[in-house]
Amino acid sequence: MPEIQVLDQSTIDKIAAGEVVEKPFSVVKELVENAIDAGSTAITIEIKDGGISFIRITDNGCGIDRDQIELAFLRHSTSKIRHVEDLLMISSLGFRGEALSSISAVSQVELITKTADSLVGSRYEIHGGNKEAFEEIGAPNGTTIVVRNLFYNTPARKKFLKTATTEGNYIQSLAERLALSHPEISFKFINNNQIKLQTSGNCNLKDIIYQIYGKDIASNLIEISYESNGTVLDGFIGKPIISRGNRQYENYFVNGRYVKSNLISRAIEQAYKNFLMQHKYPFTILSASFEGKYLDVNVHPSKMEIRFSKEEEVYQLFYKVISDALSNRELIPSASEDSDNKKDVKLVNKTVDKRAVKPAEPFEKKRIEHEKKIAEKNEKQLDNKLKVNNSLTENKKERTIYKNKSNENTSVIREDNNFSAGSYDSVQKDNNQLSMFEEKLLQKSNRDEIKIIGQVFDTYWIIEYRECMYIIDQHAAHEKVLYERMLRLLENKEFTSQMLNPPIVITVSANEAQILKDYKVQFEQIGFEIEPFGGKEFAIRAVPGNLYGLNERELFIEMLDDLSDNAAKTAPDTVLDKIAVMSCKAAVKGNMKLSYSEAEELLSELMELENPYNCPHGRPVIVSISKKDMEKKFKRIV
């Protein structure tokens, strides 16, 4: 039997480093999180060769006392927690005390730091976990950490790194997410001596979105702002027109930490379900704040994963707030825009044109906390900062009041009494108030101003309203009308059945037979009557009244196939999916000429809907072309 031995400290440190330091990205993440925890208001990230040969993180935070420096490089040394109970109330980004130890075990590290009450700074150098130098040095307040030659003493791990360009792109994406999650901090990212990102730290999230993602996205955002009993959710979501083919543009932060959560992703995508086509994903920049006792961030060394103690309430929070925001705005895309065919534009080294982007208003609370943090560091500046702050706030209020002079309540911060699935009435109320100031086509009060011009290609209806021409897809519109009509019937239990004579007999597999048993109640609710017919056969004796005569056998088999593929879903969700499929079957198709009166009736029904802008599959029902766009096309205006 092989002899059991205790590993030497160097080997232990390198193994531990492997859990925390996977690549240059990991080093930057850990060091910048420490800088944020140190109360920094300005952080510079500089790398060369993708961070493999050189990383420098500079901040203006609180610094490290001289007698604490060597201690900071020991494993499990941290200022963030004292006891195991503290893990239940973590509010900082770092807490394990492994970052500096792990990084210094596999690289050459130089630390320069100074606290505000020290006359001189300190320089500490450690290579591969071994102390090389410790001396006094002149330095500004804050901390600079330089990491050179990553994995120089573990070449096997270095071989698994990607190219310098790829590793650098990972770090740039990280810098962008850090800037988005902390708009109150000024970030600068330098790659091979070129400034790739620079933010002002003025708390204006929309400026940062414009700088990173470009004008097309920044001009198609919906603001989110919700607060209830200590729980906050704010930021921006994209209109359906800026959807993407993957989840890379789904960004959400929990207590300032960028995380990945299947629970949150599912809630976001479910809220967008009726607004996007299949395999399309939304753009979101959302920041959520919860009490520490609701979270477990100690799941993985990377701290990217997170668990919630109240999963259903977190799900409902994201789902309801996003659903309400989408449902109360006119989401008609312009025919002159085609975001699917445009490249994702990332602006680098460009000054943001403040006139092009309307300043965002939702981060007042963060801004005030940010100013207080600065004031605590330098009491002498407190009065001046508060004066400037008050002046900016008053000017902002005046602008808001002028813009919304007919709206007595300009606040978009929600306050409810509890944090539960049913506590979103005030969100709906405020969204309704906001929607009063949007110019909407599809509302009943505008019916007299809408002119139906005619039909083209036996598929599209052209209507005129004020300074815009609108084009409605009759098939998508009819699908949506039928879909919501069927939902209402289901909710009110008013479905009618049409008896079949003779009944339809189908043969099913054992799995399909179990599906029919599991979903028997839901099938009956929407109008089906299904009975065992002996052996593997079932008889369909009745179908929903509005599906009669639509090849009922094929439709039912299609539903059964889809239910079999999605057996893990809950019954209500699956039934809703099938209602959407059924709506398609019964809807009027393209290339079917409608009369003028039929078009008028379809338009009137469309105006009654909660979300008339997308069919059940997410396709747009209506697009617009403004008079101004047409005049540009015909060169009437330049």
Look at residue 221 in the predicted model and tell me its pLDDT: 92
Look at residue 451 in the predicted model and tell me its pLDDT: 83
Which SS3 state, helix, strand or coil, does residue 209 take?
helix
Look at residue 108 in the predicted model and tell me its pLDDT: 94
The answer to whether 196 and 349 are in contact (CB under 8 A) is yes
Q: Give the pair of three-digit tokens for residue 68.
A: 């604490």
Q: Give the pair of three-digit tokens for residue 521.
A: 């109640």
Question: Superfamily for 439-638?
Answer: MutL, C-terminal domain, dimerisation subdomain (3.30.1540.20)
**Residues in Cβ contact with 612 at an 8 Å cutoff, skipping those fewer than 6 apart:** 442, 477, 480, 606, 621, 622
pTM of the model: 0.61
65-73 long-range Cβ contacts below 8 angstroms, 24+ apart: 65/115, 65/118, 66/118, 66/122, 69/111, 69/113, 69/122, 69/124, 69/134, 70/124, 70/131, 70/134, 72/100, 73/100, 73/101, 73/104, 73/109, 73/124, 73/126
**What percent of the chain has pLDDT above 70?**
66
Instruction: Say which CATH topology domain 205-341 has.
Output: Ribosomal Protein S5; domain 2 (3.30.230)
Look at residue 234 in the predicted model and tell me its pLDDT: 92
Look at residue 280 in the predicted model and tell me its pLDDT: 83
Residue 111 DSSP symbol: E
The class of domain 9-198 in CATH terms is alpha beta
Q: Give the pair of three-digit tokens for residue 355.
A: 């006139």
Residue spans of the domains in the chain: they are 9-198, 205-341, 364-403, 439-638
CA distance 421 to 423: 6
Weakly modelled stretches of the chain, pLDDT under 70:
1-20, 75-97, 292-305, 328-445, 490, 493-494, 546-547, 549-551, 562, 564-586, 589-591
Look at residue 77 in the predicted model and tell me its pLDDT: 53
